[in-house]
Structure 1
């Protein structure tokens, strides 16, 4: 239903076929295997990929009837090439299908994929999932690269013998290794198929959820990946496929429970580590292509390239899930847009804002002590990143010079989400008023701060739409501005901001993420309001310095609810 123009289905015996194929293709490519590895193989149907795929039950080989019917249905004038992962059930069922096809006059060849380095010397034979065929190695994620190379070669019109030889050469020059920190979910129990304690790792798992030969302590990620790459490169060298100037094709494959963000971070790390070893990554593929249901882990595959293989990997495809790998090209990375200044730190650092710098330092110290509380509050009402975002903004402010104008620029330019830019707008309004506060005893300072807080609140409302009572930092900001507008002291404004922040504990969120939670966030103050109350408090303590200002509560006390409103 998702790809009706690309994929057709025959229900009995079950198999899928590509509805489109390249006009130059003379030999059909057929593969298959147990369910649970998606998108392999059904997602690889179409030009540049397979002609037919045979799914078995979860982690179970397809029946030979499926393979036979699929191959008969798509066989080209040049015959059929079967791509088989090296598991006993798959090997036997595909072999029986091949015998039947040959008896019917269909030319057939087989490519057996056996890339799993963890089973290079295994002697285990355990039912349908054990190793068979020419070697003990299981067939795993390298199957993706094998099928991509063969799909491109078949599209250009290669004959059966050439495709079989090419496929076997690719297999011989590919090795994979997989690790997992959590087992896949058992379909029988709904629980993990095996238990791993915190800090443990299975190094050498199979795509059917097979455990490794032993459980190990989990090392730091860089150490783990570097060890995997060393083992893969040694495995290739031992197999007579040492990497040369052609470089490698790299597959970073998720086993079902790893996020795209994690897999791409691994790609960056692998690239760095291979570069340190002098190994060139000519092309790469990142994503979940050979899953083990929802196993939390990943595999790395290295293919030692021969001349012309990178071009086959980069050839166009039109399948649901198998892309063309990128041609080798240097990533385009710039520190800044062409018309942007390289760094605002120098300009900000020249700002002679002594009072502002003292405010920023005091605010940073206060929020550093409340970091855990701000994170906890944001987890109750949002996604838990507020403490980190504010801390990041203050670190950027320090690098820019530590003044209030530096902090305003840092929050506007460097902090993501909504809280950073909105705080940046508020700080921008405060800069001139706080600079005038360098003059001790100036009666105009309180009025200037009040006007700045009011302008900041209006700016926040203009861009974010929030109003007082919506459970945002306006509920601390506006009461402080009201006090100063009425002639009150900065200490009075600090107390009003604290009371406003505490009052958000009884408000239903109508802006920001807390609006999705209804009354579930009641009882805990809004973290943004706590941070702004802390800002008003330190304004009073730095600019006014009265005993009343020094006695105002810390943000940790406000956040933890250990004071009365």
Structure 2
């Protein structure tokens, strides 16, 4: 088993841990289980209540507090909360104008939230719902349940939280929530399924180099599998499909780059850059870019992209202050949409006396490519395993440097490794190549012994 969870009541235990971390902001109620914000904004006329299966954290619980939700109802892992949780959480937090329930479009969630709605209405409490159904992969004509609710839930809860703090009415919040949902679409890919807490095995198998395209946040299989393309190609394909699905309107977007649990910040921030570049190439301005893990699927290795076409005033709602476990980037970014890239500088022709030295560089590059994997394995026995990639990357850059500047091959190796390649090997090889360059003849032939 790969998870470090207690054998009994893991969800309740985690909820208590969150409250321990935020003792002044979050309270836990355990029979039935729900969490509430201790200090909701005094200007609220309507309480915001949401929830869903656990295993998607920090979704829902991360948005609990001022500027976010008044109550969260966590179900068991990948299972909806039961209607009594939702009903009692709503009773405990209802404001003078009632309660708005934010629901992800899954059958269990819809049934249990709707039963809670009927119970609240029976008690005379005004109540409305917003159904989040942003998943593009399930936007098919013969779907019995419609699009799934995924990471756009974060956008809905953040914007509605700000509007509720401003005193919006129940009708205004319900209309705004529906408008945000209608202008949001998401798409997810995975290279590895989540590990089942029950079996300790992946929920489904993917061969090496294959992606599941359109995967769901509970491990529902995607609309197809595909050979893994370069990440830039993948992001551009997802971008085109999302843009085609959005309703028409001003070309100003919020872009949420969401990790599915096992995707690193290094990857998510890189994908953010690729996404903003892809949107710019298509003449679309990214007003807000939001990278991070917000709607996870346990430990799934993958990411989702959510695009929301912004309306007037929504960037102000996004930038509104919050006091929640999660924090969000709030500044509108300045991006040159579709600005042409500078033309590449033509490489000068190599002088005849440099051809031999370039041949040495090319031969060395070939050898490094052939032995890279073995070097990595050897380094993993005693260190972090970066030696093969470090060496190969430096040699590739040296080849480009020689092409762009016309500098001889060994000198290019010395310059790149000494000034650009880190780790232990970079500077050591840089010094070696520097000395070799000083004694190597320009024609690449061995030095004379006379």
Q: Same fold (TM over 0.5)?
A: yes
Q: CA deviation at 1:118?
A: 1.8
1:28 aligns with 2:47: yes
Offset, 1:23: 3.4
1:171 has 2:186 as partner:
no
Pairing partner for 2:420 from 395, 404, 414: 414
User: For the residues of structure 1 that align with 2:356 and 2:236, how far apart are their CA atoms?
Assistant: 46
Q: Distance in 1 between matches of 2:285 and 2:65?
A: 30
Does residue 1:242 correspond to 2:243, yes or no? no
Structure 1 residues 405 and 187, CA, compared in 2 at 3 Å: closer, same or farther? Answer: closer
Assess, with a 3 A threshold, how the Cα gap between structure 1 residues 282 and 368 changes in structure 2: closer, same or farther: same
Unaligned runs of 5+ in 1: 126-130, 332-345, 439-537, 547-565
SS at match of 1:92: helix
Matched residue, 1:189? 199
Partners of 1:112 and 1:12 in 2: how far apart? Answer: 26
DSSP-derived class of the 1:91 partner:
helix
| Residue in 1 that maps onto 2:345 | none
* Rounded Cα–Cα distance in structure 2 between residues aligned with 1:416 and 1:174: 42
- The 5 Å alignment of 1:442-457 reads none
How many residue pairs are counted as aligned between the two chains?
408
CA contact (8 A) 1:116 1:176 kept: yes
1:39 is aligned to: 58
- 8 Å Cα contact 2:33-2:74 kept in structure 1: yes
1:123-202 to 2 correspondences below 5 Å: 123=142, 131=145, 136-202=146-212
Task: Show the 5 A alignment for 1:309-348.
Answer: 309-330=314-335
Show CA shifts across 1:463-505 (max 9, x none): xxxxxxxxxxxxxxxxxxxxxxxxxxxxxxxxxxxxxxxxxxx
TM-score of the pair, normalised by structure 2: 0.80
Pair 1:381-2:382 in alignment: yes
Cα distance, 1:55–1:413 mapped onto 2, change above 3 Å? same
Using the TM superposition, give the Cα deviation of residue 212 of structure 1 relative to its aligned residue in structure 2, in angstroms.
2.6
- CA 1:395–1:156: 2 relative to 1, 3 Å: same
- Structure 2 residue 127 is the aligned partner of structure 1 residue 111: no
Deviation at residue 63 of structure 1 after TM alignment: 0.8
Residues 1:62 and 2:81 are matched in the alignment: yes
Q: Distance in 1 between matches of 2:156 and 2:204?
A: 31
Q: Could you say what secondary structure the match of 1:263 adopts?
A: helix
Q: Is the 8 A contact 1:252 1:300 kept in 2?
A: yes
Question: Paired residue for 2:17?
Answer: none
Structure 2 segments unaligned to the other structure (5+ residues): 1-19, 337-347
The equivalences for 1:367-378 within 5 A come to: 368-370=366-368, 372=371, 373-378=374-379
Q: Cα distance, 1:141 vs. partner?
A: 1.0
Cα deviation, residue 323, structure 1: 1.6
CA distance in 1, matches of 2:142, 2:361: 64
Partner of 1:511: none
Find the counterpart in structure 2 of residue 307 from structure 1: 312
Counterpart position of 1:292: 297
Per the alignment, in what secondary structure is the counterpart of residue 176 of structure 1? strand
Inter-partner Cα distance in structure 2 for 1:228 and 1:397: 33
Q: Which has the higher strand share?
A: 2
Q: Distance in 1 between matches of 2:25 and 2:332?
A: 25
Distance, in Å, in 2 between the alignment partners of 1:358 and 1:77 is 83
Name the structure, 1 or 2, with higher relative contact order (CA <8 Å, separation 6+): 2
CA RMSD of aligned residues (A): 3.2
